[in-house]
Amino acid sequence: MAEMFHEDDADLAVIQSKTVAVIGYGSQGHAHALNLRDSGVNVVVGLREGSKSVAKAEEAGLTVKSVEDAVKEGDVVVILAPDQVQATLYKEQIEPNLRPGAALLFAHGFNIHYGYIKPAADHDVIMVAPKGPGHTVRREFEAGRGVPVLVCVEQDASGQAWPLVLSYAKAIGGLRAGAIKTTFREETETDLFGEQDVLCGGLSKLIQTGFEVLVEAGYQPEMAYFEVCHEMKLIVDLINEGGISKQRWSCSDTAEYGDYVSGPRVIGPEVKEHMKEVLKDIQDGTFAKRFMDDQAAGAPEFKKLRAEGEAHPIEAVGKQIRSLFSWSEEVDKDYTEGSVAR
């Protein structure tokens, strides 16, 4: 069983005695910065000049400085920029301005585990990774609750890295729910595997393929969308509430029986073997190199694959169906507007 930590395992005074520089003010950045501030921690947010987030952070009452100046003040520097920009950001703006002995904190282990960032030996390298999006981390904190977190120490230069990481986890509300002790390697590899094989890659392809099979068999696209995509949320919500057993308990006997006899026909032994192949690419760095090389080249493969996904017939049908839902009139606005800007 995993080792777990709770509120009584951490001393909030440890992080309250530090100045924390939060680099980035996106989903996780805003949640960490605000929760830390509300826990009595001195926080400075580091953002690039011209960032739209500057106004948001200042409106929230936070101190905002350039990345370089924020890093110079930080006893703990929290790197919450996207994976693909962290290495350059670290080399050019963070590393030259780090205080001696400053701790480096991440919310995902990608760049440390694969060696894209290699901190000097005098820095603690730690992680606090909330298992939920930033807006949930903030909302739950404000409600007096918390989102579970993963905690780990990659490099304990000070000999006090564990008290520091637990204190930080407490300050953002994570220990209210509980923290699981792990490693940078385990967090990174399981996170990528879950995203690629099940949560994003596996699920998206399963939905698209199911849609194609029904439409190619002559069924109306709208019917196909409802059956393989729209109702997915109902099933996932039940699984989230009580596991696969509750989902099976809640659905009809017909659906449950079909689950048992047909699921293994779709997700057979060959799928498991392909999952193992994906895991191997994650473990040996093949995926990381492919992603980072593509990003460095301007992301041609990434952009091509994104465009192909957006052109799939299920997207047009889905947009039409979602327009019928009076309770979610603007449901497509956020990501469609975002796609124009990206």
Binding positions for NADP(+): 25-28, 48, 51, 53, 134
Which of 72, 6, 71, 64 has the alpha carbon at shortest distance from 30?
64
Start-to-end CA distance of the chain, whole Å, equals 42
CA 250 to chain centroid: 29
Catalytic residue check, 108? yes
* Distance in angstroms (rounded) separating the CA atoms of residues 4 and 6: 7
* Distance in angstroms (rounded) separating the CA atoms of residues 341 and 265: 42
3-state SS assignment for residue 25? coil
Greatest Cα pair distance, the chain, in angstroms, is 67
* 82-93 residues labelled b (16+ CB within 10 A) or e (exposed): ebbebbebbeeb
CB 207 within 8 A of CB 217: no
Q: Say which of 108, 113, 274, 312 is annotated catalytic.
A: 108
CA 156 to chain centroid: 25
Binding annotation = 25-28, 48, 51, 53, 134, 191, 195, 227, 231, 252
Catalytic residues: 108
